[in-house]
Chains A and B, each alone.
Chain A
Amino acid sequence: MASHSVREAIAAFRRAPGLALLSAMSIGLSLFVLGTFGLVTYNVEVTLRTIERRVEVVAYLRDNVSAEQLEVLQNDVGSFPEVENVTHVSKFEAMRNAMQQLEEFREVFTDLEVNPLPASLEVQLRPDYRDPESVQRVAELIALYPFVEDVQYGREWVEKIYQLRRLGGAVAAVLGIAFAVVAILIIGTTVRMAVLARREEIVVMQLVGATDGFVRRPFLLEGFITGLAGGALALLLTYGAYLAVNGSLIDLEWLPPLWATLGVLAGGILGLAASDTALRRHLVTYA
């Protein structure tokens, strides 16, 4: 039974290679749109994550803080559940960093007799606690220590990144669903054409007493294979688009293997689902 389905599906490709190619290309192109969108979404996500990694709370310390007080503060802050890492930057290191980063002021810094820059603690947060509320909570807790002069964390910056992330997620969901629906409609139409082209065959199968499963299986297999081929084509096209853009316009990261595999599989599943829907309409009865 299974061998019949495989033979029939292969025979269908042989009998109408043009239609099979057209179907795979239609599926491939509609999934390509989805693939490109996936590539953009993935890269936006990667960029946002990189930016988020820079989210940190900086606590500026008073000049008179003792070594013991500094140790207590460092241990306390390090034990906060939100905190990933605490780095102490001494007055000397602060000056050295400033001289490295702000070359144009190097001479001004060199002429100074007293180092005006305060020592600080740079507090990095765990990935799950980089939202505005968590960052603000940590900053407020640190500010309670009397030997902390000021706490900064770029409040607006953190909020903007967070908003961008949420907006990105919502846009990805809406556009992703819209593109998937378009892909399903195109695949559905393509498979319906294939089913209509072989309507007489379906009628004869029903006429001679083939079971519904037997009638459906070759078409489902054909839809699945066409969908897989379309998915692979979409992956190739997306990779082509990635190669064309990467390095010349902007730097992009290629999709992780799991995304690529799921994308091709999604093509197969879409082909299968579209075949199933098209068959349901034509299997009611023979005319």
Chain B
Amino acid sequence: MIKLINVYKEYPRSGLALKNVSFHLRKGEFAFLIGPSGAGKTTILRLIHMVESPTDGEVRVSGYSSMRMKRRDIPRLRRRVGMVFQTFRLLRDRTAAENLAFALEVTGGRRSEIKGKVQRLLAHVGLAPRAGAYPDELSGGEQQRIALARALIHDPVVLLADEPTGNLDERASRGIFELTRDINSAGTAVLMATHNLDLVRRYPQYRVIELADGAVVYDSAGEARESGGES
């Protein structure tokens, strides 16, 4: 479903960000992407979301390939791949419900269906009573729940989470993680970049892909590998 094949990513100023990265995330799978800051976790998520293209190699996502990707196809891909960030990225001048409705409106959702879908999603993330609250009136955990609801708005096949608990306290982090587990158990694959090793250790049943200096150094689904560079 998501396949990275010998992916390299080089930036003109900062140099090589990814070296020969390959892995395959299957349908409905849950995987952690770990590694120190600057290891390449966010770069991988951006490549999967087709924010940028690999310098070499191929990224395949749900039938789309980075080698044949056209700009006009990117919106369609993004509706199949939800994404959340450490900073939530909610619109501050809109309420929780309006943030969700906005995501539907701008992707051509029918007005008659928007209200019902927004209410269902708010209930799903446990925030139906907070529908009219603005992001600044919500706690960090609540904001991330709204961001998760927005990421699910098109029933994606995969959810990419870039440090979703990075700005949250222990209790809120646990709540967000449990929510992503629920999402995963409903059939959506999850690829979560995180620094939170306690969380990773607490759930040994989930796959772990470890990066260091832009290369995969460990993948619990396969053999541990040496740092990349050789192809």
Contacts and interface: CB of A to CB of B under 8 A. Distances in A.
A285 B91 contact: no
Q: Which residue of A1, A203, A204, A209 has the most chain B CB atoms within 10 A of its CB atom?
A: A209
A209 B75 contact: yes
Nearest to A214: B106
Contact of B102 (A1, A204, A209): A204
Contact of A203 (B76, B89, B102, B108): B89
Contact of B89 (A204, A214, A285): A204
In terms of DSSP, what is the predominant structure of the interface of chain A? helix
Interface string B52-75: 100000000000000000011001
B94 to A, nearest CB: 9
Given A15-B93, A204-B89, A214-B107, A209 B79 contact: yes
B105 interface: yes
B147 to A, nearest CB: 10
B3 interface: no
A71 to B, nearest CB: 78
B91 A210 contact: no
A211 interface: yes
B41 interface: no
A208 B153 CA distance: 8
A211 B77 CA distance: 11
B51 interface: yes
Contacts of A15: 93
B75 A286 contact: no
A200 B108 contact: no
Nearest to B79: A209
B154 A209 contact: yes
Given A4-B106, A15-B93, A208 B51 contact: no
Q: Which residue of B51, B76, B89, B105 has the most chain A CB atoms within 10 A of its CB atom?
A: B105
Contact of A210 (B75, B90, B150): B75
B93 A207 contact: no
A93 B52 CA distance: 89
Interface residues of A, number: 19
B121 interface: no
Interface string A202-226: 0111111111101100000000000
B89 A209 contact: no
A140 interface: no
B103 interface: yes
Contact of A200 (B78, B89, B103): B89
Interface of B: 51-52, 71-72, 75-79, 83, 89-93, 102-103, 105-108, 150, 153-154
Given A4-B106, A214-B107, 11 more contacts: A15-B93, A200-B89, A200-B92, A205-B106, A208-B103, A209-B77, A209-B107, A210-B75, A215-B106, A285-B52, A286-B51
Given A207-B78, A208-B150, A4 B102 contact: no
Contacts of A209: 75-79, 107, 154
Counting from the closest, the 4 A-B pairs by CB-CB distance are A209-B78, A209-B79, A210-B106, A208-B103
A208 B71 contact: no
A45 interface: no
20 contacts: A15-B93, A204-B89, A204-B90, A204-B103, A206-B78, A207-B83, A207-B89, A208-B79, A208-B106, A208-B107, A208-B150, A208-B154, A209-B78, A210-B106, A210-B107, A211-B75, A212-B72, A214-B108, A215-B106, A285-B51
A212 B75 CA distance: 8
Given A214-B108, A285-B51, A286-B51, A208 B78 contact: yes
A45 B93 CA distance: 53
A200 B106 contact: no
Q: Which residue of A4, A205, A207 has the most chain B CB atoms within 10 A of its CB atom?
A: A207
A25 to B, nearest CB: 24
A150 interface: no
Contacts of B150: 208
Interface in A158-208: 200-201, 203-208
B61 to A, nearest CB: 13
A215 B108 CA distance: 11
Given A209-B78, A210-B106, A204 B91 contact: yes
